[in-house]
Each structure stands twice: as C-alpha cells, then as structure tokens.
Amino acid sequence: MDFDFRGPQSGPMETFESLVRAEFTPKNTYLNTASLGLLPARTVVALRTAVEASATGQPTDMFADVEAARACFARLVRVPDHRVAAGGSVAVYSGVVAASLPEGAEVLTAEGDFSSVVNPFHVRRDLKVRSVPLDALAEAVRPGTALVAVSAAQSADGRVADLSAIGAAAREHGARTYVDASQAAGWLDFDAGAYDYVAAVAFKWLLCPRGVTFLVVPEDLGDLSPLFAGWVAGERPWDSCYGPVAELAHSARRFDESPALFSYAGGRRSLELVEELGVDAVRVHDLALADRFRAGLRSLGHEPLPAPDSPIVSVPGLGSRQGGLSEAGIEVSDRAGNLRAAFHLYNTAADVDRLLEVLAG
C-alpha cells in the first residue's frame, strides 16, 4: 500500500501509515465505505474473543464495551457521554424523534435524503412533511417549522449540508434540528452539540460492525419519549428486569435499545482506532484521494456530481460499470444510476489510479 499522507495533527507520516498498515489488509481495491467500512484487525480479534468466551460459558463483560463505545463516540463528536444513547438503527431513532412531534407539526427535509432519516416522519400521517433541495434547506425554514431533519452528508452523492446555516435558521424560527451523521462521523469535523438530535450508524466511516448506532440528545433530553425503554433504560438496569421500570436513566441512556453486544465488543475497538488516528488526519487523507479521483475523471471526460468537500464521489451515467468493476477487483456502488466511490483511511493513491485505469478501459 502506497500512502501519500501527512496530516496537520497526526504526527509523523509513519504514525498514520503504520497504524493503518497494522489494522487493514484488503485483498481488493475497496472503495465502498459509504456502504460498509472495513473492520480493523483489532476489532476482528475483539469479536472473536467475545464469541469464543461466550461459547465456553465465560462471556466477557460486553456491557462495559457498550459504555466504552458510548464514551469514545461522545469524544469523537464533542459531547459529554451522558448525552449519548446506544442502539442499533437510525430508523428507530428517527421514529422516536417523529413520535415526539405534536399533531400537525411541520417537518422540513431535503429532497432525496436517505429513507431512514425521512420515512418515519412520513409514516405519521398527521405530520406535514415538506421537502426542498438540499442547498435551499436553510432558507426554507419558516415560522411554524417544528423540526429540520437532514443528513450531514448525502448518501447518494456525498454533498455536505450547510449545517451552520441550517442550525442558525432553525434557531431563528424556534425549530429543532435532527441530523443524521452516518455518512459524516469519522471524517467530517462535526460538533454534535450544535444540534438538538444527532443519530449515526457506526458501520460506515467509524468502521464498526453492523448493530452499533448512537443518538445524541440535548442536556434536558428534549421532547423525546422513551417509547421502547426496556430494562437497559433503567437508572439501575439490573434492578429493572421485572415489571415496569421504576426509574428511567437520568441520562440519554433512557433511550438505549437492548444492545447487540457482540457488535459493541468489536465496535469499541474500531472507535478507539478512529480516535487514535484523529478525525482531522483522516479527513485530510480522505479528501486528498477524492480530489485525485475527481481530477482523473475530468481527464477522462467525466464530470462528477458537485460535492467538493466530501470523500464520496458520484459519477453520472457510470453506475452500470459497478458489476464489471467488481469483477476486476474494485468495489464501488451503483446509486441512482451513478457510480459512487468512497475514499477512506485504508485507501491509497494507487487505489484511485487503479479505478481510473479500469474506467479508462
């Protein structure tokens, strides 16, 4: 693997490179992190250890892994861990946010946003859901808008929302904000504390196994009701196993789903790796590779969709090439007829050049 990287806060080049080399050994040209991130070696070891320990009747303390993962995610998105709930699905948390709204409330969304973000609001037929183009979202907030729901980075094409403008407009009109950071957490400079609610799956840019998802809530817990609260949502979970939970957790933990423990046993290690590498360093690395790909595409006569500050590059008209690229050992996505390539910390300049070479025929 040929790494071209020197990040502003990551220390020497060999530190970033050696960490990545120690954790990842892809056998193909993997450019599909926007669908699924690769698991680091440390995560695979942790998963294997947890499974084997359970098989022998001596399971590891995977609830401790949940708490460590919660704390690490909180540091990555710059909020205290008591504001973070641990679950398994953005759609579930979108549903919780949707259920908190009064009848007739207006929800403003971006056209074509990911279904897990928007569909739970449409399912509630008594809400007024209004969709506008992503770049018009901030100016579309108006008196009476109750909630603005948007992905920080769009799944289909990588466009990054102007979250600062959206947040300012929401505050001006008294609306709450709900941000899905699934395609952003792990590479984008992101402060979850600037928004009311933030959800994120961790199996993409945060490199966790499927089943790890987080929800960030306000200090006052917002208007959310813990609709699916089970025993893990109790202030003292092991005293909350039977009958109604007498006392819900005083923190965001009241919104915990019963965790997929094996996923969190591994996910803890993935999150620790991202924290070790540093989001700033990862972002510099990822965006440099995406820029290299965009430049190469233009030299081949292809114009990618505009998303200049994103590691996700979507190319109109090339989605049909996905199957052939996979046969050539290059993994990308076909999204809405577009070829979508996603560049992350384990990718190299050689990966970019290989994709360009095959596209050029």
Distance CA 221, CA 358 (A): 50
Same domain, yes or no, for 102 and 27? no
Mean pLDDT within 49-66: 97
pLDDT reported for residue 7: 41
Q: What is the CATH number of the domain that holds 31?
A: 3.90.1150.10
Same domain, yes or no, for 271 and 333? no
Query: Does residue 352 contact residue 335 with C-beta atoms inside 8 Å?
Result: no
Of 229, 246, 276, the domain-final residue: 276
Please tell me whether the overall predicted TM-score, pTM, comes out greater than 0.85 for this model: yes
Same domain, yes or no, for 194 and 332? no
pLDDT class of 35 with cuts at 50, 70, 90: very high
Instruction: Tell which residue, 342, 289, 288, has the closest CA to residue 315.
Output: 342
Of 222, 254, 276, the domain-final residue: 276
Domain-located, residue 137? yes
Domain-located, residue 336? yes
Same domain, yes or no, for 286 and 154? no
Distance CA 259, CA 247 (A): 19
Number of domains in the chain: 2
Same domain, yes or no, for 93 and 148? yes
Same domain, yes or no, for 157 and 113? yes
Domain-located, residue 54? no
Same domain, yes or no, for 89 and 225? yes
Domain-located, residue 329? yes
Mean of the per-residue pLDDT values for the chain?
95
pLDDT one-digit tens code per residue, 186-225: 999 999 999 999 999 999 999 999 999 999 999 999 999 9
- Tell me the residue range of the domain where 291 lies: 13-40+278-360
Q: How many helices (H) and strands (E) does the chain have?
A: 11, 12
pLDDT reported for residue 6: 39
Mean pLDDT within 139-145: 97
Of 222, 255, 276, the domain-final residue: 276
